[in-house]
Amino acid sequence: MNLTAEQKELIEGCIDGRRKAQYQLYQNYSGKMMGVCMRYSKDEAEAEDILQDGFVKVFTNIHKYRPIGSFDGWIRRIFVNTAIEYYRSRKKFLLSDIELENADIAFSESVVDKMAAEEIIGLFAEMPDGYRMVFNMYAVEGYSHKEIADELGISIGTSKSQYSRARTYLQRLIANREKENIVVREKENEQLGR
Using one digit for the tens of pLDDT, what is the confidence trace for 70-95? 899 999 999 999 998 887 776 544 44
pLDDT of residue 98: 40
The CATH class of the 93-194 domain is mainly alpha
Taking a C-beta distance cutoff of 8 angstroms, is the pair 47, 41 a contact?
Answer: yes
Decide: pTM greater than 0.75: no
The whole-number pLDDT of residue 48 equals: 95
Q: Where are the alpha helices (DSSP H) in 2-139?
A: 5-15, 19-40, 44-61, 71-90, 109-114, 117-126, 129-135
List all residues 6 or more positions away from 143 whose beta carbon is below 8 Å from its beta carbon.
137, 151
Selection from 175, 176, 172 nearest residue 98 by Cα: 172
- What architecture is domain 1-92? Orthogonal Bundle (1.10)
For the chain, the structural domain boundaries read 1-92, 93-194
What mean pLDDT is predicted for residues 93-122? Answer: 49
pLDDT digits (tens, 9 = 90+) for 121-160: 778 888 888 888 899 899 888 999 999 988 888 899 999 9
Can 1-92 and 93-194 be said to share one CATH topology?
no
| Among candidate residues 42, 45, 41, the one with its CA nearest the CA of residue 79 | 41
Q: Is the pLDDT reported for residue 56 higher than 60?
A: yes
CA 51 to each of CA 29, 30, 44: distance values in angstroms, whole numbers, following the listed order:
10, 8, 10
Please state, in angstroms and rounded to a whole number, the distance separating the CA atoms of residues 55 and 33: 9
CA distance 47 to 170: 20
